[in-house]
Structure 1
Amino acid sequence: MQKNSLLKTAITAALLSLTAACASTGNTDVNDPYENTNRAIWKFNRVVDKAVTRPVAVGYRTIVPELPRKGISNIFRNLTEPWSFVNNILQGDINGAATTLGRFTINTTVGLAGIFKVSDKMGIQYQREDFGQTLAVWGVNDGPYLVLPFLGPSNGRDAFGTIGDFTAEPVNIGIDRLDEKGLLLAKLSLEVIDTRARLHSTIESLYEENDPYAFARAAYRQQRDFQIRNGKRDTSEEDDLFDALEDDE
């Protein structure tokens, strides 16, 4: 078995162990029955961020100029499009699938492999779809709130969706089939660094909150509701938490 396959199996097993005991409970304002464990994992993730991820991301921001960094972020965004297309189809959203395919085609060709977000200038809105969103469209409840080691805020449904994202995403499958040792790990590592660097100010602001754990929990729930509704906010809730942690896509 190749190294990439071993990595995939290990991550899948870890996520399965977390989701195996997650009952499909109904939505509540704070559905966090494992809060003590979640807070412990949150603290662990923060230690890892402080010791490893943050210094690397800060170094990346210092060494690499802003324009090339944006190009790299755009490439990673473009690489998510094939999986978004698949999830559009699984959700029965044919119009969304057509939009995703068109956006991917434009950015891959005219945008030089996605370096430039040409579709944005054409008014074609970016909408990322993942398997967690697909499960929600299929009627799967979110289950209990979870904090995953290294990955951060999630819930029972989205943790299982993460397994699907990692194992079935077309780009990851293509890289795995190239049989180049470490290539998939290198891609995932660079994605983490890019994301941490792009959201540096937001994450630093989060850490300054009185209870960053509770703040992130509320923001994650709002953000996921927003994504599942394809950008239509629930006007019955406050939007300030969502605005504070919304990804800069």
Structure 2
Amino acid sequence: MSSAITPYFRLLILVIIITLAGCTSTPKQQEQDNFYDDASLSDSRDPFEAINRPFWTFTWDYVDKYIAKPSSEVYTTYTPPFLRTGLYNMALNLNEPSSIINNVLQLKFTAAAKNTGRFVLNSTIGLFGFYDPASDYDWSGEQEEFGEVLGIYGIGDGPYIVIPGLGPSSVREEVGDYVDGLYWPLVVINFWPNIARLGILGLEKRAAVRDQEQLVTESEDPYEFIKNAYFQNMNYKLYDGNPPIIINEAEEDEIDALLDDFYESY
């Protein structure tokens, strides 16, 4: 079985979401409009909100609560630190070849050279990536995805989607993940080793956001909170941590008018 099964599964979910969204474009949409707040439904980034919200509820209230979070806590608590770090390094090391190509496609030749050095050194001296001797040479482990390549060349995120059981995503990210899965060595990894790789990455990702989950639970609308955080993170990655500051002139004018009224009252 090929490791491409996982990308095919995600692509299938994407097609199902778009199909369901098309099916809901009927007179029944008026009932959904009355059920959800008009302001939230006006988000052009989220045309599939009517089905995204139930998927989010299923993912956060059930899959995360009863499977992802407990599994991550058990894994991080009982796995010896050196083994946990080594397995995580190995999982990340398999992404280095795709990062090399994606950096070249963005004309980031210095970053591509560092990724190449990391992959060669860690795969040999580092015992297939279990150890990370490349970090001793200050070769950063920043990894690039094909979705970022698409973004650099002007392709937008596309509609926001929630993959049931997996969480927030977008059309551009799903296309990017699919292409990344076609790069060597991911494309030749068998099914179960690839599941193990994805499992380790997922457990570590869940552990990394453990301290921030209270922000989600305490937010007025967790769905909107996660959606906005997702797009901010995608923008952050697209610009390598230095996203441009976008000034909303309409909001600025409104604030200036309020300040003028405030000062005139005194």
> Structure 1 residue 215 and structure 2 residue 225: aligned?
yes
Aligned to 2:138: 123
Q: Indicate which of 37, 43, 47 corresponds to 2:51.
A: 37
Aligned partner of residue 182 in structure 1, secondary structure = helix
> Structure 1 residue 145 and structure 2 residue 160: aligned?
yes
Alpha-carbon distance between aligned partners in 2 of 1:73 and 1:208, rounded to the nearest angstrom: 31
Cα distance 1:117–1:216, how it changes in 2: closer, same or farther (>3 A)? farther
> Which of 1 and 2 has greater Rg?
2
What amino acid is aligned across from residue 52 of structure 2 in structure 1? N
Alpha-carbon distance between aligned partners in 1 of 2:2 and 2:183, rounded to the nearest angstrom: 18
Aligned to 1:10: 9
Divergent runs of 4+, >6 A: none
Aligned to 1:98: 113
User: CA shift at 1:51, angstroms?
Assistant: 1.5
Q: Percent identity over the alignment?
A: 31
Alpha-carbon distance between aligned partners in 2 of 1:109 and 1:99, rounded to the nearest angstrom: 15
Structure 1: tracts of 5 or more residues without a match? 23-27, 238-249
User: CA shift at 1:205, angstroms?
Assistant: 4.5
CA contact (8 A) 1:3 1:182 kept: no
Aligned to 1:244: none
Q: How does 1:1-249 map to 2 (within 5 A)?
A: 2=1, 9-18=8-17, 31-46=45-60, 47-166=62-181, 168-176=182-190, 182-203=192-213, 205-236=215-246
Aligned partner of residue 185 in structure 2, secondary structure = helix
Q: TM-score normalized by structure 1?
A: 0.77
Aligned to 1:240: none
Q: Which is further off, 181-190 or 129-138?
A: 181-190
Q: How many residues of Structure 1 are paired with residues of Structure 2 in the alignment? A: 226
Structure 2: tracts of 5 or more residues without a match? 22-41, 248-266
User: CA shift at 1:45, angstroms?
Assistant: 0.8
Cα distance 1:6–1:68, how it changes in 2: closer, same or farther (>3 A)? closer
Alpha-carbon distance between aligned partners in 1 of 2:112 and 2:200, rounded to the nearest angstrom: 27
CA RMSD of aligned residues (A): 2.9
CA contact (8 A) 2:88 2:200 kept: no
Q: Which is further off, 221-230 or 117-126?
A: 117-126
Cα distance 1:108–1:7, how it changes in 2: closer, same or farther (>3 A)? closer
User: CA shift at 1:231, angstroms?
Assistant: 2.7
